[in-house]
Amino acid sequence: MLKIAIQAKGRLNEESMSLLADAGISAASGSRKLISKAKGFPMEILYLRDDDIPQAVAMGVADIGIVGLNEVAEKGEKVDEVMSLGFGACRISIAVPRETEYTDATWLNGRRVATSYPHILAKYFADNNISAEIHEIAGSVEIAPTVGMADAIFDIVSSGGTLIQNGLREVEQVFFSEAVLIATPSLPDEKLAEIDKLKFRLRSILDSRDMKYVLMNLPRTAVDEAVKILPGMKSPTLLPLTQPDWCSLHVVIPESELWEKIELLKNIGAEDILILNLENIIR
């Protein structure tokens, strides 16, 4: 049986549990217990602080874990990055007070920078030949310049709203992160086989996200042109209609291309277009 560590509470917890649920795996909420047995897959779920997950996986306390790539990089534990999970996207950036006359990264020389990610920041300073003092803070990093604890901060940015509220502006984007599945190195073959099964389920969910299933009626004379517009995953599916000059065409389209393609299809005579959400894509 696999043991998986996920964040006990917060956004990554919610999105991790949602992904597992979409893959047919359910368990009790982490707010009620520290460990629970999953239903729908041979797995136990450990609910931990996000910054404890890399160590737990490296030690083999958990076989796998879902955690932000930023925590993996910061802790420096020996774990295998198995797959990216497509959620929890953020960046870690340097921000300075809004009125600061910041030019480039050399401005940081001789300054004090507050952060909860000292190892990632130290690597950035070393890579860019910057000599600055790193002041480690466990929380509320964004208030450090206001209270005189630092000249700048190095912290997670999602929308940037928190920076604006605290009179800061982002000046350097240093590290880009998202949720990843990590694993203990050198697991036995039977556990690797279980991880492959889990990856298969998760990949079917991730592949279906941001994709739409589109059905339409189309004049047979327009099929060749429609195929050029919609190559599909291999090629569009074509079905006959009782009306001999018409057919039904089915295809999967990335959501980002949907409306552009729909306009082109309408122009060549497509009618009665249906757009459906996908739950899974099994390749």
Which CATH number belongs to the domain containing residue 163 in this structure?
3.40.190.10
- pLDDT level of residue 53 (50, 70, 90 thresholds): very high
Where residue 215 sits, what CATH number does that domain have? Answer: 3.30.70.120
- pLDDT level of residue 233 (50, 70, 90 thresholds): low
Prediction pTM value:
0.85
Inside any domain, residue 282: no
Inside any domain, residue 136: yes
Say whether both 52 and 63 belong to one domain: yes
Say whether both 189 and 80 belong to one domain: yes
Say whether both 195 and 71 belong to one domain: yes
Question: How many other C-beta atoms are found inside a 10 Å radius of the C-beta of residue 232?
Answer: 14
Q: Which of 188, 207, 226 is the last residue of a domain?
A: 207
Mean pLDDT of 88-94: 95
- pLDDT level of residue 185 (50, 70, 90 thresholds): very high
What's the confidence (pLDDT) of residue 32? 65
Mean pLDDT of 265-270: 95
Say whether both 196 and 141 belong to one domain: no
Q: Is the pLDDT of residue 232 over 70?
A: no
What's the confidence (pLDDT) of residue 31? 59
Q: How far is CA 91 from the centre of its chain?
A: 12
Q: Is the pLDDT of residue 30 over 60?
A: no
What's the confidence (pLDDT) of residue 280? 84
- pLDDT level of residue 273 (50, 70, 90 thresholds): very high
Domain of residue 75, residue span: 2-87+178-207
Whether 278 contacts 212, CB under 8 Å:
yes
What's the confidence (pLDDT) of residue 10? 86
- The rounded mean pLDDT for the chain is 93
Inside any domain, residue 283: no
What's the confidence (pLDDT) of residue 164? 92
Q: Is the pLDDT of residue 231 over 70?
A: no
Q: Which of 176, 195, 219 is the last residue of a domain?
A: 176
Inside any domain, residue 219: yes
Tell me the pLDDT tens digit for each residue of 128-137: 999 999 999 9
What's the confidence (pLDDT) of residue 161? 87
Say whether both 61 and 184 belong to one domain: yes
Say whether both 126 and 104 belong to one domain: yes
Q: Which of 131, 159, 176 is the last residue of a domain?
A: 176
Number of structural domains, the chain? 3
Question: How many other C-beta atoms are found inside a 10 Å radius of the C-beta of residue 213?
Answer: 16
Say whether both 131 and 267 belong to one domain: no
Tell me the pLDDT tens digit for each residue of 139-157: 889 999 999 999 999 999 9
Say whether both 25 and 45 belong to one domain: yes
> What is the rounded distance in angstroms from the CA atom of residue 127 to the CA atom of residue 142?
24
Question: How many other C-beta atoms are found inside a 10 Å radius of the C-beta of residue 202?
Answer: 21
Inside any domain, residue 222: yes
Say whether both 192 and 120 belong to one domain: no
Q: Is the pLDDT of residue 236 over 80?
A: yes
Say whether both 221 and 161 belong to one domain: no
Inside any domain, residue 252: yes
Q: How far is CA 205 from the centre of its chain?
A: 13
Whether 203 contacts 83, CB under 8 Å:
yes
Say whether both 35 and 59 belong to one domain: yes
What's the confidence (pLDDT) of residue 279? 84
Tell me the pLDDT tens digit for each residue of 248-258: 999 998 999 99
Inside any domain, residue 101: yes
> What is the rounded distance in angstroms from the CA atom of residue 246 to the CA atom of residue 94?
59
Say whether both 121 and 83 belong to one domain: no
Inside any domain, residue 139: yes
Residue type, 172: E
